[in-house]
Amino acid sequence: MLVIGICGASGSGKSTLASELCKAIGDGCIIINHDSYYRDHSHLPFQDRALLNYDEPGIFDHDLFLQDIKTLMAGKPITRKAYDYNEHRRADREDEFIYPAQVLLIEGIHVFFDEQLCELMFLKLYMSVEPDICLLRRISRDINERGRAIDNISLQYLTTVKPMYDKYIRNYINLADVIVAHGGRNARIVDILAGYVRDELGGQA
């Protein structure tokens, strides 16, 4: 199994690139979002859960994520993890399974945080997009997909998103093998990466 990590700021196009790359690679490719592995804080009142910093590394269950990736690499299935953004709590689907594939794409703002996980990656891709563009995309997504108000989005951006980007996420570029510009719909880079992955798979056959 080839593990490809896609990292970058919120709104940089990680999910889009993962989707486009998965389609270009074809059968035998799956995607897992790091966002599905937020730690569960269902024991807290909703108001307290809403105030947590969802952009700092410690909010993710890195150990469980690493364990699931290793399980897939060992040829065994895992249960599908999920997160409810409206309720701010885990919503795992214990009756759904993810099965091993030839290529696993993992994407998230802190997917390069765990050194052990980085060591398992065949390729590390970093999305290099201007912060202003990322913010506009985030606003559109949070309003249209997550039903959030602009005041809430602005407060979260100023108090957690931007500080965590400056402290952590912008520096992950130094760990990348490939820096991807122009967002996730960069057709040329998708074709190049998909061809490179197919060549590697052919060499393993």
Are 105 and 29 spatial neighbours (Cβ–Cβ below 8 Å)?
yes
Query: Does pTM surpass 0.85?
Result: yes
β-strand pairing of 2-8 with 93-98 = unpaired
Contact partners, residue 25, CB within 8 Å, separation at least 6: 103, 194, 197, 198
Residues paired with residue 181 on neighbouring β-strands, in sequence order? 128
What are the CA-CA distances from residue 70 to residues 78, 97, 110, 134, 145 (Å)? 10, 15, 18, 31, 31
What does the domain layout of the chain look like in residue ranges?
2-200
**Token digits for 69?**
């990736």
CA torsion sign for 138, 127, 34, 63 is negative
pLDDT of residue 50: 84
Per CATH, the homologous superfamily of domain 2-200 is P-loop containing nucleotide triphosphate hydrolases (3.40.50.300)
pLDDT tens per residue across all 205 residues of the chain: 999 999 999 888 899 999 999 999 998 999 999 999 999 999 999 999 988 999 999 999 999 999 999 999 999 999 999 999 888 899 999 999 999 999 999 999 999 999 999 999 999 999 998 877 877 777 887 788 777 778 877 887 888 888 999 999 999 999 999 999 877 788 899 999 999 999 999 877 5
List Cβ neighbours of 180 (8 Å cut-off, separation of 6 or more): 8, 13, 17, 125, 126, 127, 128, 186, 189
pLDDT at residue 132, rounded to an integer: 77
Residue 183 has a pLDDT of 77
pLDDT confidence of residue 205: 54
- Cα distance between residue 203 and residue 180, in whole Å: 25
